[in-house]
Amino acid sequence: MGLRGLTAGKPAADYRRDRRRLVRQLRSRGVQDVALLDAFDRVPRHLFVSSVLRDRAYEDVPLPIGAGQTISSPTIHALSIEAAAVGPGRRVLEVGTGTGFQTALLATLGADIHSIERIASLHEAAGAALARFGVEARLMLGDGSLGWPEHAPFDAIIVGAAAARPPAALLEQLADGGRMIVPLGTRRQHLYRYTRRGDDVDRVKITRVRFVPLIVERRRGRGWPRP
């Protein structure tokens, strides 16, 4: 898997400089995965936001992407991907394709990507952008809270919206030893890492966050720990 066009040519010098500054910021904030830092240096975030926001693309802040949604700050993307232990050949489910920026980062890391987006306009725009850059990923328009059972189990699941509790359907699709990264909470949110150990899960709190809410389909299923 690769990013045709992202690595073949050099971007404008100012954006390149901004990306390198962002990588230094991410390193100073505790991101240690060298391959992940290299992915941030290679993927042009400014091409995954609207043209009016491109001058802010490498600020470490979330940015609006339309339809009431946002692209997460680079630090949150980095912490999520690092906590999920994404690497070559790892089967990853991304809940919330958004603009496709995180999808492109995962592709740079060599992951086998399955990404779900419930908003049609974002799904279509992300698909076009990723195709333009040669990103190999399975994309689906649908309810991410239900996961993608026919492609389970997943080594990592990264959820891009906040739920009141971890969706049971997603945890059921997590491979043994796999990790799910999910923001939980309503008014006060934290990012959590869930690691599956057979029929049990371990939970670790990562950091305070602020995400748009995840719309969760009600269904029967096994109960899992509340945050």
Q: Print the domain residue range for 170.
A: 13-209
186 pLDDT band (50/70/90 cuts)? confident
Is residue 36 within 8 A of residue 5, CB to CB? The reply is no
For the cut 50, the answer to whether the pLDDT of residue 195 exceeds it is yes
Q: How many other CB atoms are found less than 10 A from the CB of residue 199?
A: 7
Residue 226 falls inside a structural domain: no
Is residue 121 annotated as a catalytic residue, yes or no? Answer: no
**In the block, which residue shows the tokens 């010098």?**
13
Residue 8 falls inside a structural domain: no
For the cut 80, the answer to whether the pLDDT of residue 226 exceeds it is no
pLDDT single digits (tens) 6-30: 443 344 789 999 999 999 999 999 9
Mean residue pLDDT across the chain: 90
- Per-residue pLDDT, averaged over 55-79, amounts to 94
Residue 123 falls inside a structural domain: yes
| Alpha-carbon gap, residue 118 to 134, rounded angstroms | 22
Residue 220 falls inside a structural domain: no
Closest CA to 116 of 135, 141, 133: 141
**Which one of 28, 51, 72, 80 is the catalytic residue?**
72
Residue 112 falls inside a structural domain: yes
Number of H helices, E strands in the chain: 6, 9
Q: What is the CATH number of the domain that holds 175?
A: 3.40.50.150
Please state the pTM of the whole predicted model.
Answer: 0.89
Residue 6 falls inside a structural domain: no
Backbone torsions φ then ψ of 204, nearest 5 degrees: -130, 130
pLDDT single digits (tens) 77-121: 999 999 999 999 999 999 999 999 999 999 999 999 999 999 999
